[in-house]
Amino acid sequence: MAKQIKKIVLAYSGGLDTSVIIPWLKENYEDCEVIAVAADVGQGDGELAGLEEKARKTGASKLYIADLKKTFVEDYIWPTLKANAVYESKYLLGTSFARPIIAKRLVEIAKAEGADAICHGCTGKGNDQVRFELTIKALAPEMTVIAPWRVWDIKSREEEIEYAESHNIPLSFTKETSYSKDKNLWHLSHEGLDLENPANEPHYNKEGFLELGVSPEQAPDEPTYITLSFEKGVPTKLNGEALDGVALIGKLNELGGKNGIGIVDLVENRLVGMKSRGVYETPGGAILYHAHNKLEEITLDKETYHYKQGISLKFADIVYNGQWFTPLRQALSAFVDSTQQYVTGDVKLKLYKGNIIDAGVTSPYSLYDEEVATFSEDQVYNQADATGFINLFGLPLKVMAQKRKS
């Protein structure tokens, strides 16, 4: 069966997993051509530099570098932000919603190249294998998927490093420093090594551990004030300056990072059944979620706001589980978009030592009426009306108490 596969498109990052997969594919699929595809989702030039040379040296015939940043923000991040989707109260889905867009591009290239299979380097214990493969099933159900971690003899990252060293594959890390990381313009995740024991405190203050910012202890003693502007739920300006999504997130990562914002230590429930611990850096994302929710407080009516909270939980599960290309996700996005028609306005925030502090919110569509809400004398609210409301609202309780009175 292996000999029938002659051309393979590989999701390639140049990291440990995909560095060893190219020679492994060449060894196990006789005379196969391996086409590497690196997705630029904002992980930075440093992670993309030298990839073509590295891919070719390890056996790839060519390397595509797909610039997906703009589409990533507009078609994946903004819909998830508008839904206020947060997984298990903490995780802002940085890896989760990056996988469908990468897998979609893999499918497009595989079809254009006439490939027989798509290969990924996800482990058999992780969520990403599901996210990649559900996208492939949705967009190219006929495509063969190769997942080396589920079939090869390598059982650990240590063995993977030994395999790389025995095949003269250059690595920029060692067994002692090789946290498993995933970085894009939205976040950076850290897993493995000492983090596998939840009893261990992450080394936030150790030089080089945090990459997108500093710990709250190391943040400045003076706060930073910012104002974010939204139009129909989408952030459009920072401090009055119009910015595209990629630039806006970059600026917020810088501002949030230097103030120790968006650091999360989470033991999460993976889709595949186990608990896993990760440390996430999402400074810009944390700010955007906070600001968007603050604006919804004054622009959404109570029933929509409360119902949308339930939708947010479901939307987060769908994104986390890799079900982006499903009718339900599309339907929920349509509902969310309908709720965002009046989510327009400005949110002022104070960033200080890991905290995001509300400093004011305005909207031309605000449902807050100061004259109605005031504790001072007003001419629009008849407090005597509350008596009848309470009598009707409390009627079921009153009847039950009377009927069950012993």
Is residue 200 domain-resident?
Answer: yes
Report the alpha-carbon distance of residue 399 to residue 333 in Å, rounded. 42
- Domain around 13: 2-175
Residue 355 pLDDT > 70: yes
Boundary residue ending a domain (175, 196, 228)? 175
13, 19, 40, 99: the active-site residue: 99
Q: For 160-210, what is each residue's pLDDT tens digit?
A: 889 999 988 877 655 555 688 899 999 999 999 999 999 999 999 999 999
Number of domains in the chain: 2
Question: Do 99 and 144 reside in the same domain of the chain?
Answer: yes
Is residue 7 domain-resident?
Answer: yes
Report the alpha-carbon distance of residue 278 to residue 202 in Å, rounded. 10
Beta bridge partners of 350: 225, 357
116, 128, 131, 229: the active-site residue: 128
Mean pLDDT score of the chain, rounded to an integer?
95
* Predicted TM-score (pTM) of this structure: 0.94
Boundary residue ending a domain (118, 146, 175)? 175
Is residue 68 domain-resident?
Answer: yes
**pLDDT score for 2:** 45
Q: Is 75 a residue of the active site?
A: no
Continuous segment of H or E residues that includes residue 226:
strand 224-231
Question: Do 20 and 146 reside in the same domain of the chain?
Answer: yes
Task: Tell which wins on pLDDT, 47 or 76.
Answer: 76
**pLDDT score for 117:** 98
Q: Is 194 a residue of the active site?
A: no
Question: Do 202 and 252 reside in the same domain of the chain?
Answer: yes
Is residue 321 domain-resident?
Answer: no
Q: For 141-170, what is each residue's pLDDT tens digit?
A: 999 999 999 999 998 878 988 999 998 887
Report the alpha-carbon distance of residue 137 to residue 325 in Å, rounded. 10
Q: Are 3 and 30 in contact (CB under 8 A)?
A: yes
Report the alpha-carbon distance of residue 191 to residue 276 in Å, rounded. 9
- With b for 16 or more beta-carbon neighbours within 10 A and e for fewer, the 266-280 pattern comes to bebeebeeeebbbbb
Question: Do 170 and 197 reside in the same domain of the chain?
Answer: no
**pLDDT score for 180:** 85
Is residue 376 domain-resident?
Answer: no
H-type alpha helices, 15-126: 16-28, 45-48, 51-57, 69-72, 78-82, 98-113
Q: Of 45-59, 240-254, 315-329, 368-382, which range is least confident? A: 368-382
Question: Do 145 and 286 reside in the same domain of the chain?
Answer: no
Report the alpha-carbon distance of residue 38 to residue 25 in Å, rounded. 17
Q: For 253-271, what is each residue's pLDDT tens digit?
A: 999 999 999 999 999 999 9
**pLDDT score for 243:** 98
Q: Is 17 a residue of the active site?
A: yes
Question: Do 265 and 126 reside in the same domain of the chain?
Answer: no
Q: Are 171 and 15 in contact (CB under 8 A)?
A: no
56, 157, 180, 366: the active-site residue: 180
Beta bridge partners of 123: none
Question: Do 286 and 153 reside in the same domain of the chain?
Answer: no
Is residue 305 domain-resident?
Answer: no
Boundary residue ending a domain (132, 148, 175)? 175
Question: Do 207 and 240 reside in the same domain of the chain?
Answer: yes
Question: Do 38 and 73 reside in the same domain of the chain?
Answer: yes
Report the alpha-carbon distance of residue 360 to residue 375 in Å, rounded. 20
Q: Is 99 a residue of the active site?
A: yes
CATH of the domain at 353: 3.90.1260.10
13, 17, 116, 312: the active-site residue: 17
Is residue 322 domain-resident?
Answer: no
Question: Do 231 and 161 reside in the same domain of the chain?
Answer: no
Question: Do 155 and 209 reside in the same domain of the chain?
Answer: no
Residue 406 pLDDT > 70: no
Question: Do 166 and 193 reside in the same domain of the chain?
Answer: no
Residue 365 pLDDT > 50: yes
Q: How confident is the model at residue 87 (pLDDT cuts 50, 70, 90)?
A: very high
Task: Provide the edge-to-edge strand list for the sheet that holds 275-281.
Answer: 180-183, 188-191, 275-281, 263-269
| Side-chain-side CA neighbours of residue 95 (13 Å) | 23
Report the alpha-carbon distance of residue 132 to residue 120 in Å, rounded. 8
